[in-house]
Each structure stands twice: as structure tokens, then as C-alpha cells.
């Protein structure tokens, strides 16, 4: 149906509902900030499929938060909302330029990573199954027992709420758990890697190979 940008004065309410903490938007974004890059047919396809999908996707840019460990860039399937931490920049951990600085993952790639999750949800219909598969140790259900167990150990996680689940998935993956293995590797293979190659950027070898710069 549509992709809309949440007006800045409505972001904090949505952040509060989704994360339970504060996060604000200090400047309104426009279509320019979410437009798929010219050089990326994959990003254009994601954008086009989402605009034709039977659901409205909202995008909330977060410029400030007092709870940086809780508020993350993610896709919340409950609210059909993509949250983007616009106050954080990421680099490809494995790739540095001649001056020794990490090559940046452009914010538009992060945005289309999250829109890729929205596509998994409202276009592909794979999102819930992939999240569930990433959060079980049960091999029959697609779990990866040999790869689970981050710093705190991964236990079976009951899927009470898909929106909350995906945030946990992103967090677990960052910490080294494998909670988000399926949903994120599907997303990277289908969306992020092609976009990076089309934009002549490096690709991260694993989900964890990005770094805050």
C-alpha cells in the first residue's frame, strides 16, 4: 500500500510503544532520505514491492536516545515499522581504506537491510518462520544447535510477540548468539549483499562484521 515516514513529533510515541523507552526524532525526513539508490536494482525492487504490498510500512528515524543499548535499528513486525538509529554510523569491520579508517556502510544500506526484513514479512511471508527457526535449538524446526550459545547461552525463546522477537534477534546476533541466523542471513543473501555489490561496496562476511565508527 505505501511506505511512509513517521513525522518527527510522532516518533517518540512509536519508540515508546515498541521499545518501552525514549527516543526522539529531531528533524523531519523526506522521500530523498529513503529513495533507493539509482545504482541498485535490488533496493529499487524492495521499495517497489513494499509500495505494492498489502500493508503500510512506516519508517521512524531516531536522532536521540538515552537508552542506546535498548533502542536499535530494527524492524518491528507488530507495528510494521522500521526504526533507524540515525545517530550511529557503521563500518565494515574487515575493510579499511588507505588511511586506515573503516569503510563506511552507508546509512541507506542499513535502511534497506531493515526494509529487507519488512519485505520478508509483508511480501515474502517468511519472516515469522525464520525468526522462530533462529530461536529454537530444535533441529527438526530448523534450529542450529551447534551454533547457538552466545556469551550468555541461547535458550529456547518463546515467541510471544514478533516485534519484540526481532529486536532480540538483532541483539543476540550482535552479541554473537545465533538467534537471528536464519532471518538475517536470508535478508543479507537476498537483499544486503546484492545491494552492496551493486553499489560497489564490500560485503560483511558474517552478521557481526560491522563496527560502530
Give contact residues for Zn ion (rule: CB under 5 A): 184
Please say whether the dihedral angle defined by the alpha carbons of residues 151, 130, 115 and 14, taken in this order, is positive or negative.
negative
Write down the least CB distance from residue 98 to Zn ion, Å: 30
Instruction: Mention every residue, 6+ apart, whose C-beta is less than 8 A from residue 141.
Output: 132, 133
Write down the least CB distance from residue 30 to Zn ion, Å: 25
Contact 27, 92 (CB under 8 A): no
> What is the spatial distance between Cα 83 and Cα 17, in angstroms, rounded to a whole number?
12
Write down the least CB distance from residue 170 to Zn ion, Å: 5
Nearer to Zn ion, 76 or 184 (CB): 184
CA Rg value for the chain: 17
Could you please report the per-residue DSSP string of 144-174?
Answer: -TTT---TT-------S-HHHHHHHHHHHHH
Residue 48 burial by Cβ neighbours in a 10 Å radius (0-12, 13-18, 19+): exposed
Write down the least CB distance from residue 25 to Zn ion, Å: 21
Nearer to Zn ion, 6 or 183 (CB): 183
Q: Which of 6, 7, 14, 96 is nearest to 56 (CA)?
A: 6
> What is the spatial distance between Cα 136 and Cα 132, in angstroms, rounded to a whole number?
7
Closest residue to Zn ion in the complex (CB): 184
How does DSSP classify residue 188? I
> What is the spatial distance between Cα 206 and Cα 170, in angstroms, rounded to a whole number?
13
Nearer to Zn ion, 56 or 174 (CB): 174
Count of residues in the chain: 213
Write down the least CB distance from residue 117 to Zn ion, Å: 6
Nearer to Zn ion, 24 or 206 (CB): 206
Write down the least CB distance from residue 175 to Zn ion, Å: 14
Amino acid at each position: 500500500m505505501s511506505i511512509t515516514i513517521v513525522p518527527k513529533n510522532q516518533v517518540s510515541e512509536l519508540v515508546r510503544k515498541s521499545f518501552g523507552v525514549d527516543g526522539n526524532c529531531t528533524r523531519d525526513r523526506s522521500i530523498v532520505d529513503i529513495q533507493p539508490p539509482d545504482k541498485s536494482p535490488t533496493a529499487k525492487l524492495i521499495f517497489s514491492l513494499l509500495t505494492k504490498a498489502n500493508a503500510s510500512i512506516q519508517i521512524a528515524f531516531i536522532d536521540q536516545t538515552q537508552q542506546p543499548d535498548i533502542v536499535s535499528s530494527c524492524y518491528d513486525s507488530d507495528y510494521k515499522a522500521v526504526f533507524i538509529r540515525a545517530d550511529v554510523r557503521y563500518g565494515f569491520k574487515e575493510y579499511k581504506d588507505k588511511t586506515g579508517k573503516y569503510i563506511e556502510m552507508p546509512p541507506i544500506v542499513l535502511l534497506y537491510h531493515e526494509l529487507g526484513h519488512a519485505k520478508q514479512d509483508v511480501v515474502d511471508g517468511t519472516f515469522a518462520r525464520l525468526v522462530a527457526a533462529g530461536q529454537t535449538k530444535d533441529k527438526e524446526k530448523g534450529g542450529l544447535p551447534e551454533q547457538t550459545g552466545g556469551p550468555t547461552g541461547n535458550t529456547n525463546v518463546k515467541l510471544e510477540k514478533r516485534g519484540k522477537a526481532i529486536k532480540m534477534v538483532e541483539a543476540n546476533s550482535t552479541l554473537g548468539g545465533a538467534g537471528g541466523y536464519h532471518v538475517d542471513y536470508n535478508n543479507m543473501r537476498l537483499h544486503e549483499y546484492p545491494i552492496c555489490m551493486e553499489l560497489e561496496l564490500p560485503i560483511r562476511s558474517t552478521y557481526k562484521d560491522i563496527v560502530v565508527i
